[in-house]
Structure 1
């Protein structure tokens, strides 16, 4: 059980922390210092490095979450409301990430390669909004996970 919790927390911290850094730190600095072509190239390259970590986090979160759900709680019936909410929010975050991965992210890469900056800007804007939603969901999930069983 302690291995599952540790891996689960590390995966969640990696994903949510990465989104927090991107939204709250990197984005304002990139807007302040870089012109749109350089900013779009920066974001695409940053996503190329971050998204494999997100894929890893998704796999670890699903595997360890289900391990704990069935191994510790004996299934959904034995889990508290906070576990149910965690599962729903986690699945929603994963669905949003999958949409980013399969839709605006590849289009951003094509736009950057073709130097089509307005099209790239639209794709980056969509990714930014979706990551913002995921960040809110992720922070809420962390709060639910850490305090839900005490309510």
Structure 2
């Protein structure tokens, strides 16, 4: 096994955790959670997102660390255009996630702790919108990486 293969494994593991987790949350958990009353729904989301967001930070470390290690080993000038596109889009995704973490995620936790369900619903909606953006960006990035799309 080459070092590149280990880096690629770590990179893909991070992508699977992050993008797969967003897809699960959006397409499976969200529709089921909508059937719950606000207090239960927002408490559930607060617990789920608290765990998932810790996984996302780990995934970001794996993706960024392994991605830039592979890019550096290949050489920035010699790397395919798709790799540069992945890096750029990935950094945008990290910025979107950071905006969730430092914004509506904090508001959701505070609202749930205060049992302020209207404020919690508003914060959760902002999280949902940004996760939707990241899910689209992540899916596009996987397409760029696997289909060899020239950006």
Q: Residue 14 of structure 1: which of 4, 14, 17 is its match?
A: 17
Indicate if the aligned counterparts of 2:93 and 2:134 stay in contact, CA closer than 8 A: yes
Q: Residue 23 of structure 1: which of 22, 26, 43 is its match?
A: 26
Deviation of 1:146 after TM superposition, in Å, equals 1.1
- Mapped pair 1:54 → 2:42: no
Question: Please, which runs of 5 or more residues in structure 1 have no aligned partner?
Answer: none
Which residue is 1:110 aligned to? 110
Q: Which runs of 4+ in 1 moved over 2 A?
A: none
Deviation of 1:149 after TM superposition, in Å, equals 6.8
| Secondary structure of 2:148 counterpart | helix
Q: Distance in 1 between matches of 2:75 and 2:101?
A: 33
Question: Please, which runs of 5 or more residues in structure 2 have no aligned partner?
Answer: none
Q: What is the correspondence of 1:1-151 to structure 2 with a 5 Å cutoff?
A: 1-32=4-35, 34-71=36-73, 73-75=74-76, 77-148=77-148
Deviation of 1:37 after TM superposition, in Å, equals 1.0
Q: TM-score, normalised by structure 2?
A: 0.95
Indicate if the aligned counterparts of 1:80 and 1:149 stay in contact, CA closer than 8 A: no
Q: TM-score, normalised by structure 1?
A: 0.95
| Secondary structure of 1:78 counterpart | coil
Task: Tell me how large the CA RMSD over aligned residues is.
Answer: 1.4
Deviation of 1:126 after TM superposition, in Å, equals 0.1
| Secondary structure of 2:115 counterpart | coil
